Structure 1
Amino acid sequence: MTEMLLEDLPGVGPATAEKLREAGFNSIEAVAVASPAELGATAEIGEATAAKIINAARQAADIGGFETGDMVFERRQHIGKIKTGCIEFNEMMGGGIESQSITEIYGEFGSGKTQVAHQLAVNVQLSAEQGGLDGSVIIIDTENTFRPDRIQQMVEGKANELGIELDYEEFLKNIHVARAFNSNHQILLVDSAMDLANELKDSDKPVRLLIVDSLTAHFRAEYIGRGTLADRQQKLNKHLHGLQRFANLNNAAVLVTNQVMSKPDAFFGDPTKPIGGHILGHTATFRLYIRKSKGDKRIVKLVDSPNLPEGEAVLSVTRDGIVDA
């Protein structure tokens, strides 16, 4: 069966197809999961026409209808898991960081969020037998925290662990980094990531991981005071849905790091709370809380998951990367 083009959809002419492609709707699947308002604004057509185009795309892509539980189970067999480097952490996550999902990791500064992100950027490039997905990585860096020399150390550590030779320069070539300078730029970079993923889709290293480090830094700096909270949350919601769409369309894992705030009025329990409120809490598939322990040890807690029980894992952050404590 030949792959359908956007022009094959009823109501989509060459001009409309060009506008859709410019906005990042490069495939029938991307159109199928869009909203009529979003598609209408992009292609400069009415919402009723956009709804007809979306329905046609859903039928063509065979998504959006009801399916039985065994069909869902069958589809979920294609989900990949990226090993973290720590056996206890992997077991808590049901085998590793899952594709087609958003995994959020939050904690205070220096707790190891960026270290976990760097480690996954290395591990995802390994073969499935070695704990990876044989794919490349896109990193949206909002706080200038990406360090190529750290990748080199982790690749060398992984080579020693596996007893094989690994070229860190090859690993760096498969990491695509973009620096986001504000929240608008950060949201637009997800569209650019979609374009890059489409380019690499048929290569030997398709994009299997998208990292946003950190998700909330720009939103926190730009939207100050309670009066701007509704606007911030609305924008954050749009951003998260863009990330979820990226995960679904590319069978990729999405890892977002998140900052915390302190609740001085909390008399019991841990006073640190993640930024982003309920919108982030509901949209993230897995929520992880990482905190410092003695020396190089870190404790990661699985706070929320649709299918896994709450749990804790202890790991160590060493020169070689994330390892068993």
Structure 2
Amino acid sequence: MNIEELEGVTPAIASRLRDAGINTVENLITYTIDEVAEILGVKREEAERIMIEAWKAKGYWFTPAIEIARRIEEELVFTTGSRAFDELLGGGVRTRQITELIGRFGVGKTQTAYTILVEALGSNSDITAVFFDSERSFRDRRLREIAALRGYDSDNIMKRITVVPVLSSHHLMETIKWADKLFQDENVKILVIDSIIAPFRTDYLGRELLAPRQQMLNKTLRMLLQRAETFNMAVVVTNQVVSSPEQTYSYDPLAGESPAGGNILAHASQERIHIRKGKGNVRIARLIDSSWLPPGECMFVITDRGVEDVPEKRGATKKTATS
């Protein structure tokens, strides 16, 4: 929807918004009132009036529940590559939410993200993807291998992936902000950040910087959620773990470590999956938090083809009771 179609938006206002990279109403609603007031150089009240019109136009006002149900039906679901893993997630990785892959170094977080990426693009020829690389983990050779072994055209898939090498937390936030036109024009339906926490842990060292780090992380996650919702995208992020040496002995294999990012990241992610190593190439995924699914675990393997089911149906999903 063009900016000019909003009531009260003059050609001069539209021009200033376009100069800031805001070309459509879909772009506009991802900004805050204060940000729009600063961009336009107007009082907050005028920016608020414009934003209310934008929210109304795109259905982010007082909305009948039946309309919300219709939006949910529009969501896309991408396979992880493993039926057991998909079952754990209620069908797979969904658009309009953040799916978080958590684990220690070498457990297969990036390989899982690669497989989701390849399957999404391979099964949907009309969509594209963006890969934000904060750990220099992007390897085109590995993506091509997974694609080819799964029967997809690796060249075609690579042409539909845009890579953003992330330099810092500020760089990550700004590139997300300026990617709105790309998201819309290129029909981006899956966005991967590997890893979400790395630039923040690098830029904000020491306990005295914990508060500003969490504020910046919160703002970045808010931007991601807004864009996931607006552009009907799946956002997949990988996350590291931190040790908890004060943890007493427990039979739980996840005791003694926690996802990095604290409560800020915990509240932003709709699905949180902790991945740990089993025997050999077997991995165990535990759904530790979801807005609509019960906790549970499943097994899968990582092979040349990426994520796959454990042979002989040993990867069955196990749901656990909730209190």
Give the TM-score taking structure 2 as reference length.
Answer: 0.90
Q: Which is further off, 97-106 or 20-29?
A: 20-29
Supply the distance in 2 between the matched residues of 1:231 and 1:17 (Cα, whole angstroms): 33
| 1:141 maps to amino acid | D
Q: Residue deviations 1:209-237, cap 9 Å, x none?
A: 00011001010011112211111111111
Measure how far apart 1:24 and its partner are: 3.9
Cα separation, 1, equivalents of 2:86 and 2:126: 18
The one-letter amino acid of 2:191's match is: L
Matched, 1:252 2:233: yes
Alignment partner, residue 96 of structure 1: 92
| Cα-to-partner distance string for 1:275-307 (whole Å, 9 max, x where unaligned) | 111111011111111111111111111111111
Change (3 A) 1:137 1:215: same
Name 1:149's counterpart in structure 2. 141
Distance 1:178 1:22 in 2: 23
| Structure 2 equivalent of residue 86 of structure 1 | 82
Q: Among 15, 23, 27, which residue is 1:26 paired with?
A: 23
Work out whether residues 29 and 249 of structure 1, in 8 Å CA contact, stay in contact via their aligned partners in 2.
Answer: yes
The answer to whether structure 1 residue 9 and structure 2 residue 9 are counterparts is no
| 8 Å contact from structure 1 (residues 126, 134) kept in 2 | no
**Per-residue deviation at 1:11?**
4.2
The C-alpha deviation readout for 1:163-197, integer Å capped at 9, x for no partner, is xxx32111100111010111111111112332211
CA, structure 1 residues 87+56, in 2 after alignment: closer, same or farther (shift >3 Å)?
same
Q: Secondary structure at the match of 1:125?
A: helix
Cα 1:232–1:299 shift into 2, 3 Å: same
| Residue 267 of structure 2 corresponds to residue 271 of structure 1 | no
- C-alpha contact 1:83 1:97 (8 A) present in aligned 2: yes
The runs of at least 4 aligned residues of structure 1 exceeding 6 Å deviation read none
Q: Report the CA distance between 1:9 and its aligned residue.
A: 2.9
**TM-score, reference length from structure 1:** 0.90
Asked whether the 8 Å contact 1:20–1:26 carries over to 2, the reply is yes
Q: Does 1:237 align with 2:221?
A: no
Counterparts of residues 147-296 of structure 1 (less than 5 Å)? 147-159=139-151, 166-200=152-186, 206-267=187-248, 268=250, 269=252, 270-296=255-281
Please list every run of 5 or more consecutive structure 2 residues that lacks an aligned counterpart in the other structure. 311-323
> What amino acid maps onto 2:269 in structure 1?
A
* Aligned partner of residue 261 in structure 1, secondary structure: strand
Task: Give yes or no for contact 2:85–2:92 (8 Å, CA) kept in 1.
Answer: yes
What is the one-letter code of the residue matched to 2:194?
A: D
- Other-structure match for 1:55: 52
Secondary structure of residue in 2 paired with 1:77: helix
Write the distance in 2 (CA, Å) between the matches of 1:40 and 1:256: 31
Overall identity of the aligned pairs, in %:
35
Gaps of 5+ in 1: 160-165, 201-205
**Superposed CA RMSD:** 1.6
